[in-house]
Amino acid sequence: MSEHVILFAGPMGAGKTTAIRALSEIEVVSTEAANSDRAAADKATTTVALDYGEISVNDAEKVRLYGIPGQRRFDFMWSILAERAEGVLLLVNADAENPVEIAIDYVKEFYALYERGGIVIGITRADLVPESLIEEYANALADEMPDVLIPVFTVDARSNADMTVLLMTLVANVELKQAVAANAGLTSGRTR
């Protein structure tokens, strides 16, 4: 059985744990602790190490879902989990302060994974702000990183259907990049 390893990244309160729970076919392994930083996000608990879930794409393919903590003070976990990952599913809550800048910062942070497999962005909680346009994110990304192509969706992190679309887009991206890389390897092998 082949498998993919996907990282769920994004700021605290974006819905990473919720999204993994919405997708996973196994009981999610969570490492939640009481949240003492209510100023950063008003929720009772926060992930301090990882979330882990699994989903089958078909009989022959499995996707391992790893959620990382949103706070930068846990960035050592980001590096540990990024080592094995092939792509990033980035969730950004639209009601955060400067969500567009946050999205760009995360793309820069995980740029190596963009190159390895890909990144997709899911904007959550878009219904809580007067106006949240996907174009804003797409245009800001295009301005900041003109050569980067990243799909942007608005999603409900609780929705299995929404998250499946986002995840499968990323998986398709990863597989395409892997196929292109393998093909390039074959071609360069032939020209030697």
Partner 1 sequence: MTIATHLNKKYISRGELALSGLKDLAPSLSYATILTEDGFSVVSVEGSELDSNRFASMASSTQALADAVARELKLGDNEFVIVAAEHGHVVQVRVDGHPLVLAALFTDKETIGKSLSAARRTARRLNVFLSAH
| Backbone torsions φ then ψ of 170, nearest 5 degrees | -65, -45
Q: How many residues bind partner 1 (CB under 8 A)?
A: 21
DSSP designation for 28: P
Smallest CA-to-CA distance from 11 within 85, 98, 79, 131 is with 98
Residue type, 186: L
50 sits near partner 1 (criterion: CB under 8 A): yes
Among 31, 154, 160, 178, binds partner 1 (CB under 8 A): 31
Which residues between 143 and 162 bind partner 1 (CB under 8 A)? none
Does residue number 78 form part of the binding site for partner 1 (CB under 8 A)? Answer: no
What's the rounded Cα separation, in Å, for the pair 74 and 78?
A: 7
Cα–Cα distance list, 86 to 48, 118, 145, 171 (Å): 22, 7, 20, 9
1 is a contact residue toward partner 1 (CB under 8 A): no
Stretch that binds partner 1, among 56-64, 73-81, 136-144, 181-189 (CB under 8 A): 73-81
Q: Which of 59, 73, 143, 188 binds partner 1 (CB under 8 A)?
A: 73
The verdict on 34 binding partner 1 (CB under 8 A) reads: yes
Q: CB within 8 A of 154, min separation 6: which ones?
A: 94, 122, 123, 124, 126, 132, 134
The set of residues, in sequence order, having a beta carbon less than 8 Å from that of 108 and lying 6+ positions away, is 145
Residue 74 interacts with partner 1 (CB under 8 A): yes or no? yes
* Residue 41 touching partner 1 (CB under 8 A): no
Does residue 48 bind partner 1 (CB under 8 A)? Answer: yes
- Interacting residue ranges for partner 1, rule: CB under 8 A: 29-39, 46, 48-50, 69, 71, 73-74, 76-77
